[in-house]
Amino acid sequence: MSPMTTGAFLAEKVRNMQVWAAELLPPKDVILRQKLLDKSVSELEAVALATALLGKKSVIEKRDWVGVRAMLDEAGSAPDVVFWCQLMEGLAHNPMAQDKFWRYLDLFVTAVDGK
């Protein structure tokens, strides 16, 4: 078996995060949950996401919610921004989920940083 590429690894982890985030959504958000579960992420998309996050590494290291919100605002009306906003709202009152969110972002940055 050949080793997994960074892109394949990141695509798998982004998918895991999507499933986890879908489980956090309130029951009333059935359509959003389904869209999240139906969305596939290519290796290229996953690497692009991780690379963008690498540029905001200090925000992630500080676990800066205001900085994450600013990242979303900078992204404008990109389709995935809605997902991130919904995810952040779902985490607002769930400290255990917040920790996992930050660990995912740390993982994405570490995978593309190579350190």
Q: What is the pLDDT of residues 3-55, one digit of tens each?
A: 889 999 999 998 998 888 888 777 787 877 787 788 788 999 889 888 888 88
Q: What pLDDT does 108 receive?
A: 93
Q: Is residue 1 part of a domain?
A: no
The label of the residue with tokens 């998918």 reads 15
The domain of 55 spans 6-113
Instruction: Look up residue 4 and give its DSSP letter.
Output: P
Q: What pLDDT does 13 receive?
A: 94
Average pLDDT, the chain: 82
Q: Which long-range contacts (CB under 8 A, 24 or more apart) does 8-11 make?
A: 8/43, 9/111, 10/43, 10/46, 10/47, 10/49, 10/50, 10/108, 10/111, 10/112, 11/41, 11/42, 11/43, 11/45, 11/46
- Categorize the per-residue pLDDT at 91 as very low, low, confident or very high, splitting at 50, 70 and 90: confident
Mean pLDDT (whole number) for 103-110: 93
Q: What pLDDT does 8 receive?
A: 96
Better-predicted residue by pLDDT, 1 or 62? 62
Number of domains in the chain: 1
User: Residue 46 is encoded by which pair of tokens?
Assistant: 């996953």
Better-predicted residue by pLDDT, 16 or 91? 16
Q: Model-level pTM?
A: 0.82
> CA dihedral defined by 69, 13, 97, 88, rounded to 10 degrees?
20
